[in-house]
Structure 1
């Protein structure tokens, strides 16, 4: 434990003492790379890495810093959607029962309760809530009866406000962004907060789609297919 803390302290000191490029210089370097190579590489890494339980906020903020608002939003929305779809298909290919047996974390149970009661509409609301882990939501949706197309559309709608807000924030850190775009950032953050408030005020689901044995209940399946 002490060794880990010492290593972290050394890294912080090194980051503060050693010279490193500014955010504006990082943007200049990004703009110096001709063609779509850098956005494509970023898209590929983002889409593949976030299939795993890796926070996607780092990629979202980085997209704003590297590419600006328009390209950053486009690349991030596309990569996040592809990542969600790949995770969904991967879990279903592995087998729902194999994954269900491992979804015992309280966060997974809470998400499963939402899906059991509200079906694919819950996908969009869960995407609005930053506290709902992206990876866990993907897995819970895959073991439910939510179909791929509604899942994908709900994902795009749900991630849009938060993604736009974070990308614009990253763009603003370079000092080049239009101040009026910060209004959009505020609106997007407000939408995300409204989604969180709405989700909190809705009555809690009566039952889970996963029983103690890890099998889906028939009632939840019928509601999800609606």
Structure 2
């Protein structure tokens, strides 16, 4: 019981820290750093790895970092780098949520709700649909961790579902002549609608089976 309480306290403290960091730390300094090292591939790669590792702590969107990858490496080399970084970065809140564990209370109820969702869809289909849906990456990762999604399904589903968002962001970054905070926008409404439609299509069958089984 004491260990469970300790994990809950750690989880709440980290969540509070992420909220505070997201409000206090803007990506301006990050953009300035990336701009100064973009013509030095090895150093740029080191900076990019560091950014992917700390990204969840500042609640920066994955597309922001993918734009940086496209800016530094171009569309062809930037895509696999960005997709690998996005997938690895998403693992951090996923694994932390598994460490915290749902137990009882609000966190436990969230985990139970997520588990029912993944029971209906299957881990892999549910993860792909969750990534295609226009939802923030880190809450999706945490929900998957609380819901008991297998690590393999999480990684594969994240990699597949993030492909359209990563392609759009990398292409946007590779087309930038000058990197600025104002230019860190890659997602148009057309992609949001298309990806959302695919997510709905993936969930239509499981939703129908769940409804008819009741």
Q: TM-score range by the shorter chain?
A: 0.5 to 0.7
Say which SS state the counterpart of residue 68 (structure 2) adopts.
Answer: helix
Structure-2-length-normalised TM-score: 0.62
Match of 1:91 among 97, 100, 107: 97
Q: Deviations over 1:59-80 (max 9, x none)?
A: 2222222321123222221111
Higher helix share: 2
- Are 2:111 and 1:102 aligned? no
Are residues 196 and 174 of structure 1, via their aligned partners in 2, closer, same or farther at CA, if it must alter by over 3 Å? farther
State the match for 2:25 in structure 1.
none
Structure 2 gap ranges (5+) = 1-27, 179-187
Structure-1-length-normalised TM-score: 0.59
Are residues 70 and 47 of structure 1, via their aligned partners in 2, closer, same or farther at CA, if it must alter by over 3 Å? farther
Match of 2:137 among 134, 137, 144: 134
State the match for 1:55 in structure 2.
61
Are residues 59 and 205 of structure 1, via their aligned partners in 2, closer, same or farther at CA, if it must alter by over 3 Å? farther
How far apart in 2 are the matches of 1:114 and 1:204?
13
How far apart in 2 are the matches of 1:150 and 1:205?
22
Paired residues, number: 171
Superposed displacement of residue 189, structure 1: 7.2
Structure number with greater Rg is 1
Are residues 28 and 61 of structure 1, via their aligned partners in 2, closer, same or farther at CA, if it must alter by over 3 Å? closer
Are residues 204 and 40 of structure 1, via their aligned partners in 2, closer, same or farther at CA, if it must alter by over 3 Å? farther
- Please provide the CA RMSD for this pair: 3.8
8 Å CA contact 2:96, 2:142 repeated in 1: no
